[in-house]
Structure 1
Amino acid sequence: MTAFLDNAAAHHHESVGFWQDVTGYALSAPRGDDGEFATLLPPDGDAYLRVQRRHQGGDRIHLDLHVADPQAAARAAVAAGGTFVVDRGYVVMASPGGFVFCFVDAPADRRPGATPHGGSSRSRVRQVAIDVPAPAYRTELAFWTAITGWTQRASTVTDDFRFLVPPEAERQPLGLLLQRLGPDDTGEVRAHLDWGTTDRAAETERHLGLGAHVLAVHPHWTVLRDPVGRVYCLTDGDPT
């Protein structure tokens, strides 16, 4: 699984610069008809974070699911409740709650190591959290379980979290977390990125120095906003 940071055109370059700095990853040459795509390149393992300059619309996260046969995977996803959007050689889909993702046939299953950032701090983006309004939660959880085939695991922190865990033998770079939003949040299904850190306090200070802002501090994670407004979390989860 690959996560795309899709950026509004007005601040695409600023967003890419921040995520380059904060991950410590190199940036590939641009590609696409208008140079709208690029990849953040870890020093080892497979790339699993990419960026896209959107022609219209605001910031979002979308996912690429890497499969042997995108068309067959798309048919199975439709049977599970998803919606086919368009086939561009890669197949664009939407979940039952409207969250956009793609099936692609490029391999990507070698997990990079955690990146050291001085002192004892090591970190890596380790999962995508899909944020689901409460009425759609059961349907969305069942859908993502069906199309990934990954194992559900309950959270020890809250009943509003459910992890989808890939087989350890696959060494997937990213896991999935389905988060049930509060009763007052009736927006669209969306997503944010969660980091794993060995020293959350030190990592928070590093992110602040690169232009992020703290929104909330919880016992097991800290919510931040990057310089262009994208929300993400630093967690105590193991970055390796």
Structure 2
Amino acid sequence: MTVTARLDLAIFDAADIEKVGSFYAELTGWDVVRNDSDRFGLRSPDGQEIEFQRAPDHVAPQWPGQEHPQQIHLDLQTDDPETAAGRAVALGATRLADGPTWITLADPAGHPFDLCQADGVGPVMTLFAVTLDAADASALARFYADLTGMNVTYDGPEGALISADGRSVMFQRISDYNPPRWPDPAYPQQAHLDLVVDDLDAGEARALELGASRTDVGGERFRVFTDPAGHPFCLIR
């Protein structure tokens, strides 16, 4: 029997989680659902969540190069990216680049994110996708689709997308991709995904079968793996 995992949330590393978490809460209009010494969590109106975990030695990415790569970023949707970008800068973001229908900025912890044009969003932003970098975006999309039961809804030369139940994960092709080497602080993960399973042993077997690698971190409640592109992720019971 094929075991699938459910995408739970993306968790970004930061030294000051209160600062970066409050930044996103103010920018997006999402609810704060967790705020303790280790985690700051937000929930969008459609139930999607992101968190920021305290990492005192966090080394910020330097976009767009691969010497200190972003690894993972958020694609946020808004009616008016230009106005939203102005608000983001006033809240502590740094404007990095303009695209045809999006603006790229860095949050106060240094993580790049995109403000993407989408009509009818309203005053509260929506999360279009969490986007992972990879040398082979198609292969990484298939890995996560097979692990989670999500569907590959787009696969093109620049990247791939998997979706299900209103949630999406995008995979962006990077020609000179430099993978994380967690927990080596010189090659930080920047962020990771949490995936929920009913049975950790069965979930582990399925992840390894699909090409993941097991780390020595975890126990009876969670286990840490790396995907075929080197991104750490957690299976959580």
Q: Given the two structures, how large is their TM-score scaled by the length of structure 2? A: 0.46
Q: Given the two structures, how large is their TM-score scaled by the length of structure 1? A: 0.45
